[in-house]
Structure 1
Amino acid sequence: MRIACVQLGVEGGAVTANVERALARIRTAAAAGADVVVLPELFDVGYFAFEAYARAAESVAGDRLSRFAAAAADEGVHVLAGTVVEDLAASAADGVVVPATEGLANTAVLFDRTGDRRLVYRKRHLFGYGSEETNRMVPGESTPVVEIDDVCVGVTTCYDLRFPEQFRRLVDSGIDCVLVPSAWPYPRVEHWRTLGRARAIENLAYVATVNGSGTFDGDALCGRTSVYDPWGTTLASAGDEPTTVTADVDPNRVATVREEFPALHDRR
């Protein structure tokens, strides 16, 4: 399974431009042979554009995400719409199971090759340090997994990287690969590099950390999108400019590494 991690250049509050840019990158990645295209956290509105959250919020069955479902079907590729601001009341009205009947959530939505919605993940650990996320968002309550081309995939978001117990739950669900859409800023570059690699090493799984690129009123995303294999080896990585990082994920490699080094069996 080839994943294309889109390190998108994000403009704060410029939803229309960000969406068009993301759709173009999906088409390019699919044409280059990607099986899964992953977008970063709040790629449509920009993480630090807090005042624009309510204006940008929609149901996961809304018109904007429907364009990404259509792109997945048109290009024959799986698409993780990295995260968006979800209007929980609107989703509930559309028959979607939600953690609360009102408020906003930081939500990742995975569409399959036919455009069907296969996974919805709402960020569980909301970031409060120098951020308004905890005041504006409702945390998620579940960490689902899904099979993509015989690869068991889980999703976490950005700050979740600091909570290894969440990744252990994913391991217990059988994951081979974790996709981590993020909006990770400077100056915590070493944290970003270390935590993604650590989650891969300790869980003997692929981890793809997908960051954005851009500056928002003094806050700048550090990029450095990376894919780590089950040994924690960096398969592909980027600097801080917009680009796409690609790597192949092999579930047989996960099984082999876990058999050669059965640390997960020694948990107590």
Structure 2
Amino acid sequence: MQEEQVDTLSVTLVQTDLYWENVTANLSSLEEKIASLPEKSDVIVLPEMFNSGFTMNTAIAEPVNLTTTKWLKQIAAQTGSLVIGSFAVKEDGRFYNRLFCVNPDGSFTYNDKRHLFSMGGEHEVYTSGASRLTVNWKGWKICPLVCYDLRFPVWSRNSVQDPYDLLIYVANWPAKRANAWNTLLKARAIENQAYVVGVNRIGIDGNNLEYRGDSVALDFLGEPKYMLADLEMEKTVHFSKTELEHYRDRFPALSDADTFQIL
């Protein structure tokens, strides 16, 4: 059966507080929030490490296809949405901050966080990802990345040869660096001529770090379509493929970009 193609893509941002290292509580809370959404959505985006908070405690890491993966499949099937979020995975004796994109039919793709936050010791616990992912969904190309990846524009870089339409960051980004979060998200939208969604958590984690959210949906000019500020809420926004393509046709800056590869 041919996948549905849509010109207007609906994306739901789930900005929430998280229960520290409590998988059961987080999945239960998120399930209730998603079940109460007032409208159907093509894509649902959860924060980084949505089942635990940003922790270096590998005791909460799961093998693929255990509790959290099965939960993602259940949510995708119930909502008919592509569900995106990251959690700690244990595989072949290593640990990964792994981002999953789960389809309603239960199939999924993933990539591992490329840039590990060394100031928090993440590089000592988790293994860095080696490849970037682009997901094709309902006629849209979506590039999902994780938190600290936002600071590295080369890794996020769009290309005229294989352009993405929507760039998504899932995050646990502390309030004390909120200015960087807000500024860099706008820069990624402008330089890549793409819609950008950043989904961050709120609250205070087990390390006493404060998060104020600032989840946002931006257009290809870096202008906000919606800003969630510091509220615990879910918001669905709509992106137009036609508007994006018209803008790129009028101002084809991507065609002037340098050509290079990351080795």
In 1: Cα distance, 2:96 partner to 2:256 partner = 36
Q: Percent identity?
A: 29
Larger CA deviation: 19-28 vs 204-213: 19-28
Which residue of 2 is the match for residue 266 of structure 1? Answer: 256
- Using the TM superposition, give the Cα deviation of residue 50 of structure 1 relative to its aligned residue in structure 2, in angstroms: 2.5
Q: Deviations over 1:138-172 (max 9, x none)?
A: 00011111111111001111111111111215665
Of 227, 240, 243 in structure 1, the residue corresponding to residue 233 of structure 2 is 243
- Using the TM superposition, give the Cα deviation of residue 229 of structure 1 relative to its aligned residue in structure 2, in angstroms: 0.6
In 2: Cα distance, 1:267 partner to 1:75 partner = 39
In 1: Cα distance, 2:21 partner to 2:161 partner = 38
In 2: Cα distance, 1:202 partner to 1:218 partner = 34
CA contact (8 A) 2:202 2:213 kept: yes
Query: For 1:46-57, what aligned pairs fall within 5 Å after superposition?
Result: 46-47=53-54, 49-51=55-57, 54-57=58-61
Of 57, 69, 75 in structure 1, the residue corresponding to residue 79 of structure 2 is 75
Of 87, 95, 110 in structure 2, the residue corresponding to residue 104 of structure 1 is 95
Q: Equivalent residue of 2:118, what SS?
A: coil
In 2: Cα distance, 1:123 partner to 1:212 partner = 17
In 1: Cα distance, 2:246 partner to 2:18 partner = 38
CA contact (8 A) 1:23 1:68 kept: no
Q: Deviations over 1:95-142 (max 9, x none)?
A: xxxxxxx3110011111122221x20110000112x121111000011
Which residue of 2 is the match for residue 95 of structure 1? Answer: none
Which residue of 2 is the match for residue 61 of structure 1? Answer: 65
Q: Equivalent residue of 2:123, what SS?
A: helix
- Using the TM superposition, give the Cα deviation of residue 87 of structure 1 relative to its aligned residue in structure 2, in angstroms: 0.6
Of 137, 146, 149 in structure 1, the residue corresponding to residue 135 of structure 2 is 146
In 2: Cα distance, 1:201 partner to 1:218 partner = 34
CA contact (8 A) 1:108 1:121 kept: yes
Gaps of 5+ in 2: 1-8, 259-263
Comparing both structures, which one devotes a greater share of its residues to helix?
A: 1
Q: TM-score, normalised by structure 1?
A: 0.88
In 2: Cα distance, 1:170 partner to 1:123 partner = 21
Which residue of 1 is the match for residue 106 of structure 2? Answer: 115
- Using the TM superposition, give the Cα deviation of residue 184 of structure 1 relative to its aligned residue in structure 2, in angstroms: 0.3
1:253 and 2:253 are equivalent in the alignment? no
Aligned residues: 249
Query: For 1:4-19, what aligned pairs fall within 5 Å after superposition?
Result: 4-19=12-27
1:174 and 2:181 are equivalent in the alignment? no
Which residue of 2 is the match for residue 84 of structure 1? Answer: 87
Q: TM-score, normalised by structure 2?
A: 0.90
Which residue of 2 is the match for residue 42 of structure 1? Answer: 49
Q: Equivalent residue of 2:175, what SS?
A: coil
- Using the TM superposition, give the Cα deviation of residue 260 of structure 1 relative to its aligned residue in structure 2, in angstroms: 1.2
Which residue of 2 is the match for residue 3 of structure 1? Answer: 11
Q: Which amino acid aligns with 1:263?
A: A
Of 22, 28, 37 in structure 1, the residue corresponding to residue 36 of structure 2 is 28
Which residue of 2 is the match for residue 218 of structure 1? Answer: 208
CA contact (8 A) 1:236 1:246 kept: no
Which residue of 2 is the match for residue 92 of structure 1? Answer: none
Distance 1:12 1:76, change over 3 A: same
Q: Equivalent residue of 2:174, what SS?
A: coil
CA contact (8 A) 1:154 1:170 kept: no
CA contact (8 A) 2:159 2:254 kept: no
Q: Which amino acid aligns with 1:78?
A: L
Of 190, 193, 213 in structure 1, the residue corresponding to residue 182 of structure 2 is 193
CA contact (8 A) 1:10 1:212 kept: yes
Q: Equivalent residue of 2:48, what SS?
A: coil
In 1: Cα distance, 2:216 partner to 2:226 partner = 6
Q: Deviations over 1:172-216 (max 9, x none)?
A: 532100111000002111101000010000000011000011202
Larger CA deviation: 37-46 vs 237-246: 237-246
Q: Equivalent residue of 2:96, what SS?
A: strand
Q: Equivalent residue of 2:180, what SS?
A: helix
Of 129, 135, 145 in structure 1, the residue corresponding to residue 124 of structure 2 is 135
In 1: Cα distance, 2:19 partner to 2:234 partner = 17
